[in-house]
Amino acid sequence: MTEQPTTAAITGTAGGAGTTRLSVEAGATLARAGYSVALVDVAFATQGLAQYVSGRIDEDVVDLVTGDDPRPSDAAVDLGIDADGRLVAVPSQASFQALARAKTAGAAERFEAVLDRLDDAVDRVLVDVPPVATNPAVAAVTTADRVALVAPGTDRGVDSLQRSRARLTDVGTTDDLAVANRVDELPDGSIDLAIPESDATAVADAPATVDPDDEFAPAVAAFAEALFDEQLDLEFPEPDLVDRLRP
């Protein structure tokens, strides 16, 4: 019997692909379905997940992967969303010197322990991963149960998707799912899903899937379902008559 996947690396194929926002929205969708979910940021160059955390961050994922005894619960911040489940973030927010230590091979090995402990503590773990070119990114895509590639919905995105797949092969893994982000239609046959852009574009308005619409939220739910190979018990608003008649 195939074991249920519980951890996933959501990996951008290029800078600005929108992996952080998609990770937050997918995590909120899973929480809405009743799961406890942890988001982890290994995109150390941008540290984007920290933007979704209100208040002070005393300990972050960099502290975990550079310390001797990582305790993910010390760095987990509850995002306080209105859902049946729970969504916590383990962001990165550190100095340049600390980030340099977090990119070493030893820190990448400790990340595996961090992911294992988070996996024991919550139902699902989503890792926000930059394009695969650093030790933390390699550790994430080779340790997580599933790997999703997120590409911009453009010709550049399709090209970067092929390069990312080659990099995954180089490190001994493959993607399980490819997504075109912020686009209404699939731009290429090698991509599995298209995620439209949300009407709520500001960080302060995310996650938008907690108050679902009839287009963006169902697409994110389809992504979460495909990512973990399961069906979520969720309901969404019906499109209005104008949308139904639109060609």
Instruction: Report pLDDT digits (tens) over 2-53.
Output: 689 999 999 999 989 999 999 999 999 999 999 999 999 999 989 999 999 9
What CA dihedral angle connects 136, 138, 144 and 147, to 10 degrees?
120
Give the containing element (helix H, strand E) for 162.
helix 155-170
Instruction: Report pLDDT digits (tens) over 173-229.
Output: 999 999 999 999 988 888 999 999 999 999 999 999 999 999 999 999 999 999 999
- Distance in angstroms (rounded) separating the CA atoms of residues 107 and 111: 6
pLDDT at site 154? 80
Radius of gyration of the chain (CA): 17
What proportion of the chain, given as a percentage, has pLDDT over 90?
82
What CA dihedral angle connects 123, 125, 126 and 129, to 10 degrees?
-170
Please return the burial class of 7, using the count of CB atoms within 10 Å of its CB with bins 0-12, 13-18 and 19+.
buried
Please return the burial class of 173, using the count of CB atoms within 10 Å of its CB with bins 0-12, 13-18 and 19+.
middle
pLDDT at site 223? 98
- Distance in angstroms (rounded) separating the CA atoms of residues 40 and 38: 6
pLDDT at 118 over 70: yes
Q: Where are the domains of the chain?
A: 7-245
Q: Which CATH number describes the domain made up of 7-245?
A: 3.40.50.300
CB-CB contact of 30 with 8 (8 Å): no
Give the number of other CB atoms < 10 A from CB of residue 133: 9
pLDDT at site 245? 47
In the block, residue with structure tokens 């209404």:
184
CB-CB contact of 114 with 147 (8 Å): no
Confidence of residue 1 (pLDDT cuts 50, 70, 90): low
35: number of CA atoms within 13 Å, CB side?
26
pLDDT at site 241? 47
Give the number of other CB atoms < 10 A from CB of residue 189: 7
Instruction: Report pLDDT digits (tens) over 55-83.
Output: 889 999 999 999 888 899 999 999 999 99
